[in-house]
Structure 1
């Protein structure tokens, strides 16, 4: 009986000591903020510079040496393909066309009369053939004059925005003289050089983002459309062309753009950069684990991939859903008890995280 009572006393004593130790351990646990290991899209980045260009760009010039009779556009006007822009003096050519048409009509009438007599002996067959040839010749002259008249009316070659007008009514223009410019700004081309070491991963469809100093932090997104077929033998770079939509026509040709090209897109594990601990040539993070009812921080070696500001790619050492310590790392040692003060799941500020309700759970 005495032995049983003694055994019961010892059991109660040990139980009380264990409970006290757990309470003391919980009180001594280091408060940390954690973040989950997530699987997300990631891509390597290549930085470059390029100059914006219009999707299509043409200098509008005259094909004839003649005076300007009428101007049908304003500076900066948006036009559609085929819109009339400028008319040159064509009065002399129109008079020549009317004369040619009169000759053609008379020749046609002569041919028709000869054709009516072709079945009789009054008109030799050779005469009918001669008049047919005269009609064809007259019609060809008329068609040529009509075709030449189109060069006296200058039209827009495609939809676009006109530039500054360089002529006035009465100006004598020569072939090649600039009248204005027209640019298709519905989308912008951007050509930039990429080192040829990345050639294996360059292909149409890769996304890009660009920024321009004039527009601050605003980002312009586009896609690669072409990778040049030749490598520059001096710089060992290849020209890549991308297209950026420009529905509001805010981008203009000639702007310097800083470009980020995203290559080798993939699904991979990601953790916040602040979780990383670097010692010599090894990389570590503290992972939250449960050990005999206690929440502890376990140091774990990881293999890194690429990185971008605020995020690192993890190739091995972690699994999706693991929780890593991102705040409170300095005080930690391997296996140390911790209490989870907050969990970072996005871009929350530290102030917002500290207002979260503390938790003690691990994974």
Structure 2
């Protein structure tokens, strides 16, 4: 019996050795799995940088001065002095209406006024000689003044038969022809001063503090693709619309080439003053319902969720108002594979030409 027990020792030693080797192999595999479980991502260290965002709005172009030219009296058109699309100076005669009867009436009124003036002067001499009463002279003065007023009335009536441009500008389509009968309110043409134009647009109440007179504006139109029109804020309405909670802002745009026309739709960009801000690529921000968050890399190489408040967005970037600080390392690409506490490694960058490949990405810090 003792000899048989001693013969079993070599077999037991082999079994123990196998168990030990199996345990060591398991530890090595676990370590390998732990290294493989680290998620490869791209990160970026957050830092303050210049930020100059814009406020976008849609606006309607309006002429600096605009009017519909109409007739004041009922009369026949004698002559038209313009063509459609002409540029005219202030006071230029646009249409002449027939006025032969008015001219004859004016001549009669001028003759009556001249006679009344002579009677008044003669009466003045007679009063000085005390040959007539002063009350009679007062009657002659009233007669003279009435005659002069009649002359002025007839001259104004004749003036109404010359339709003039109230200001310099560009005329629209001509609406009358010689020989046509016009009445008060008949449209002759439109007249617009478009050497400079106004653009009215709505700005939400939340942006009111960021808009002021003199701020730079940039506008684009589908009519002129690729061209930007530069202007500035000229005025801000004193009231906010209680229905839309927006304020009307008026921009002033030089228009020397007359490309902007009244009624055009303009995409307006209001440039806000440059400031320092924490800015991230939009792809780094994860939106779940109303909550926005990013994945922040901790010192031990794992990630955590950081809820943030976002500000303005521009050109694929977003301003972060709170939730992270300068110096934090944020995951930019690969956010869809993350969960709290998971380990991450920085994605290896491709080597430059002529350089040997890197040994491997290190753990993100």
Normalised to the residue count of structure 1, the TM-score between the two structures is: 0.66
Change (3 A) 1:237 1:38: closer
Which residue of the partner structure matches residue 92 of structure 2? Answer: 83
- TM alignment of 1:334-345, pairs within 5 A: none
CA contact (8 A) 2:54 2:269 kept: no
Matches of residues 155-170 of structure 1 in structure 2 within 5 Å?
Answer: 155-170=164-179
Alignment deviations for residues 101-130 of structure 1 (CA, whole Å, 9 cap, x no partner):
111111111221222222224333332222
Q: Evaluate the alpha carbon distance shift between residue 250 and residue 128 of structure 1 in structure 2; reply closer, same or farther with a 3 A threshold.
A: same
Matched, 1:220 2:232: no
Deviation at 1:313, TM superposition (A): 5.2
Moved more, 49-58 or 152-161: 49-58
Task: Find 2:239's aligned residue among 229, 232, 248.
Answer: 229
Are 2:86 and 2:170, in contact at CA under 8 Å, matched by a contact in 1? yes
State how far apart, in whole Å, the 2-side matches of 1:82 and 1:39 are.
56
Aligned partners of 1:193 and 1:239 also within 8 Å: yes
Secondary structure, aligned partner of 2:84: coil
Cα pair 1:189 1:242 within 8 Å, conserved: yes
- The answer to whether the aligner puts 1:260 opposite 2:269 as a matched pair is yes
Superposition RMSD in Å: 4.3
Q: Which residue of 1 aligns with 2:314?
A: 308
Q: Quote the Cα distance in structure 2 between the aligned partners of 1:307 and 1:283.
A: 19
- What secondary structure, in the 3-state scheme, does the structure 1 residue paired with 2:59 have? strand
- Give the conservation status (yes or no) of the 8 Å contact 2:216–2:271: yes
- The alignment status of 1:98 with 2:107, answered yes or no, reads yes
Number of aligned residues? 294
Give the 3-state SS of the residue equivalent to 1:138 in structure 2.
Answer: helix
Structure with the bigger percentage of strand:
1
1:143 corresponds to which of 141, 152, 158 = 152
Give, in angstroms, the shift of residue 173 of structure 1. Answer: 0.1
Q: Equivalents in 2 of 1:269, 1:194: separation in Å?
A: 23
SS in 2 for 1:117: helix
Unaligned runs of 5+ in 2: 1-43, 287-291, 298-305, 333-343, 354-365
* 1:123 aligns to 2:132 (yes or no): yes
How does 1:192-231 map onto structure 2 within 5 Å? 192-224=201-233, 225-227=235-237, 229-231=239-241
Note closer, same or farther for the CA distance 1:336–1:50 as it changes in structure 2 (3 Å cut). Answer: closer
Structure with higher Rg: it is 2
Q: Report the alpha carbon displacement of residue 312 of structure 1 after superposing the two structures with TM.
A: 5.5
Q: Give the structure 2 partner of residue 281 of structure 1.
A: 293
* Residues 147 and 41 of structure 1, relative CA distance in 2, 3 Å threshold: farther
Does the residue aligned with 2:227 lie in a helix, a strand or coil?
A: coil
In structure 2, how many angstroms separate the alpha carbons of the residues matched to 1:269 and 1:43? Answer: 11
Q: State the partner residue of 2:77.
A: 68
Deviation at 1:275, TM superposition (A): 11
Runs of 4 or more above 6 Å deviation: 274-278, 333-341
**Does the 8 A contact of 1:232 with 1:238 survive in 2?**
no
| 1:167 Cα deviation after fit | 0.4
Secondary structure of 2:248's match?
Answer: strand
Moved more, 91-100 or 224-233: 224-233
SS at match of 1:158: coil
Equivalent position SS for 2:127: coil
Give the distance between the partners of 2:278 and 2:255, measured in 1 at CA.
33
Aligned partners of 1:52 and 1:256 also within 8 Å = yes
Q: Aligned pair in 2 of structure 1 residues 99, 41: CA closer, same or farther (>3 Å)? A: farther
Contact 2:53/2:313 (8 A) holds in 1: no
